Amino acid sequence: MFMGEYQHTVDAKGRIIVPSKFREQLGEAFVLTRGLDNCLFGYPMEEWRKMEEKLKALPVTKRDARAFTRFFFSGATEVELDKQGRVNVPPMLRSYANLEKDCIVLGVSNRFEIWSQGAWEKYFTESEDSFNDIAEELIDFDI
């Protein structure tokens, strides 16, 4: 399971250090893709295969299913950690998530997310007041 919040920077070559606690779970290669809310999602290969199966099961006759599948898979790329624990984030994904310098790497259960620091701070500040309301809604899911 991925959890925690870590501050990192994007270097001049577009590399980000992956937290050491995450590296153990990721192995040498994993998948980065466009996430929701203009962040990136990172999946270990096993979790990516599960997500792939779920998305393949969506009906191609549904416009929203086709759109989300295109969005998710077109941004996906298999990446590898270097010896220093860094991953090279492709330019297309850096551009999507507005990753220029300071960034936040979050653990989110079966995946991790990479946010620009500014986007994360804005998201967190705007969402903070609604966390109690969200928690009340999730009670229906036995959480």
pLDDT band of residue 131 (cuts 50, 70, 90) is confident
Between strands 111-116 and 29-34, the pairing is unpaired
Q: What is the pLDDT of residues 114-127, one digit of tens each?
A: 999 999 999 998 88
The residues, any chain, with a CB within 8 Å of residue 70's CB and separated by 6 or more, are none
User: Angle 45-56/63-74 helices, nearest 10 degrees?
Assistant: 160
Task: List, for residues 75-89, the tens digit of each pLDDT value.
Answer: 999 999 999 999 999
Neighbours of 62 (CB within 10 A): 11
Can you give the pLDDT at residue 55? 92
Tell which CATH classification among 3.30.1370.60, 3.40.710.10, 3.40.50.2300, 3.40.1550.20 matches the domain 2-141: 3.40.1550.20
Domain ranges, ordered by start, for the chain: 2-141
